[in-house]
Amino acid sequence: MSKERASANPPSGRHQYIREQLRLHGRVYAGELAASLGVSEDSIRRDLRELAADGACQRVYGGAIALTPNRHGFLQRRHENTERKARLAAAAVRLLKPGQFVFLDGGTTNLEIARALPEQLPLMVATNSIPIAAALFGQKQLSVLVLGGSLNHQSGDALGTTATRMLDTMRPDICFLGTCSVDGELGVGTVMADEAAFKRHLVEQCGHTVLAVTNEKLDTASPFIVAPLADIGTLIIEADADPIRRAHLEAGGAPLLIAG
């Protein structure tokens, strides 16, 4: 590579370009970046290592994937994208049948699912989420079980040994799992270790796991793995999800349901 071409693509400029590609597409490939920027793949791999160290992405085979934007607490996120989450919730509740035992995991999308439960639909509902339990209060067609344990003030969920032991006594027909990120290759993830441990156990206990996820979480990664995408029974995504990201999810093996 000539000095003139190298100087036209200094590391700072390449980093900015890679960050923008991650924002737009969620995933980048070292070979494609090298061709676009006119540098060697070794230079790109070094760039990706540096960006990963800065928390901008996670290295994967052949390239990198964006980290989840879902790093704020529940109290802030509950006011974000409420209309989009409500459309996902409307699709989610259509999966339910009278008399089912349903587990609602924590998360702001699952809060919208709790609010969307039809008033005439009798269910037994368990949750470890304090905000979701509060939203279910007064819905007399529901039998509600609230898990106890250590309260995580960021998520609003009861976690830890007590919550896990209570979950051990349950076999829900269907659960709505909360997540911070989802990717066809890396699966479902979250940003806290204790939260990931509880969610992994929840997937093991449930007959059918449903994940409703907004567009910004697609093709992103989190520090802690919950489950491979193949363990998700139904993945509900938005109708305007990026076609390339949708193809990545389909390759991961989860049946997709498109929210109208």
Residue 72: predicted pLDDT: 60
- Identify which of 40, 89, 86, 45 has the alpha carbon closest to the alpha carbon of residue 63: 45
CA gap 115, 89 in Å, rounded = 8
Residue 1: predicted pLDDT: 39
Burial 112-138 (b: 16+ CB within 10 A, else e): bbbbbbeeebebbbbbbbbbbbebbee
CA-based torsion, 17, 21, 27, 32: positive or negative: negative
Q: What is the value of pTM for the model shown?
A: 0.81
CA gap 144, 113 in Å, rounded = 15
Beta bridge partners of 190: 224
pLDDT tens digits, the chain, 260 residues: what are they?
333 343 456 788 899 899 888 877 777 888 889 988 989 988 998 999 888 888 787 788 888 887 776 566 666 666 777 899 999 999 999 999 999 999 999 999 999 999 999 989 999 999 999 999 999 999 999 999 999 988 888 888 999 999 999 999 999 999 999 999 998 888 999 988 999 999 999 999 999 999 999 998 998 888 899 999 999 999 999 999 999 889 989 888 889 999 97
H or E element that contains 111: helix 108-116
Beta bridge partners of 63: 29, 60
Contact 183, 164 (CB under 8 A): no
